[in-house]
Amino acid sequence: MSYDTGTRQSLERDAAQVVARYPKPRSAILPLLHLVQSVDGFVSPDGIEFVADTLGMTTSEVSAVATFYTQFKRQPNGTYNLGVCTTALCAIMGGDAIYERLREYLGIEDGQTTGDGMFTLERIECNAACDYAPVMMANWEFFDNQTPESAVALVDALRAGKPVAPTRGPDKLPTFKENERVLAGFPDGKADQGASAGESSVRGAELADEKGWAAPPYPAGGAAAPKGTKGEERK
């Protein structure tokens, strides 16, 4: 089933803006895949064909990229994509327990979506937020210092239609499709909402200022070579 005329025309207008940002059209493949996800909720066969037609690529080439990156979904995704970090520090701090609680509560396994289409659950790799472990994300927005109980409370609030704010980010959690459009390169005007860095993230810089610590000056002409590399015989 192909896109209806109105949807196709809208996609073509947006795609033209995206492609115009790149010297070579095929460089726009990633944002265009996000664009079709913002419409379909996943990278659909129609979306694959649209991207291929737009960029002069084959559908197999586009599919190869879409299946490489985990942010691109090949089946309908939930309104809210819940990603629980279970890598190293987050796992030690309780990430595995959070994931297991959500798996049981939602009644789905990794990568699956609830029957009502609201939630998709997945394990995700490090989000570079170890100072707030354990961390989970909803539609790529941060929810810091989570517990199994707070994760379930988040699900309940979203199901009840209550406004939910990420720990850091916009004042209200966007839907999966809304954030996919942002990732396609269309700002939603919410970049300045919420905190970008919390107390834990800047504590190191504050300590350095308090104690007068500073990195060694960068050597002129580039990094200094280890001893024994400038004609000296290593002993």
Whether the full predicted model's pTM is greater than 0.75, yes or no, is yes
Closest CA to 94 of 28, 38, 148, 171: 148
The pLDDT, as a whole number, for residue 194 is 81
Q: Which CATH architecture has domain 5-66?
A: Orthogonal Bundle (1.10)
Q: What is the pLDDT of residue 191?
A: 87
Residue 90 CB neighbour total at 10 angstroms: 26
Q: Is the dihedral of CA 126, 132, 133, 136 positive or negative?
A: negative
Q: What is residue 229's predicted lDDT score, i.e. its pLDDT?
A: 45
pLDDT of the residue at 162 = 95
| Residue 217 pLDDT | 86
* Sequence spans of domains, the chain: 5-66, 80-175
Query: CB within 8 A of 121, min separation 6: which ones?
Result: 82, 84, 99, 102, 103, 106, 108, 109, 110, 111, 112
Walk along the chain (235 residues) and give the pLDDT tens digit of each residue: 589 999 999 999 999 999 999 999 999 999 999 999 999 999 999 999 999 999 999 999 999 999 999 999 999 999 999 999 999 899 999 999 999 999 999 999 999 999 999 999 999 999 889 999 999 999 999 999 999 999 999 999 999 999 999 998 899 999 999 999 999 999 999 988 887 777 888 888 899 999 999 988 888 766 554 554 444 443 3
- Return the structure tokens found at 157: 């609030």
β-pair partners for 113: 120
The CATH number of domain 80-175 is 3.40.30.10: yes
Which pLDDT score is estimated for 231? 41
Nearest CA to 34 out of 155, 191, 139 is that of 139
Whole-number pLDDT of residue 107 = 97
CB atoms within 10 A of CB 4: 9
Strands 119-124 and 141-143: unpaired
Distance, first Cα to last Cα, the chain = 72
**169 in Cβ contact with 118 (< 8 Å):** no
Helix axes 96-106, 148-159, angle to 10 degrees: 40
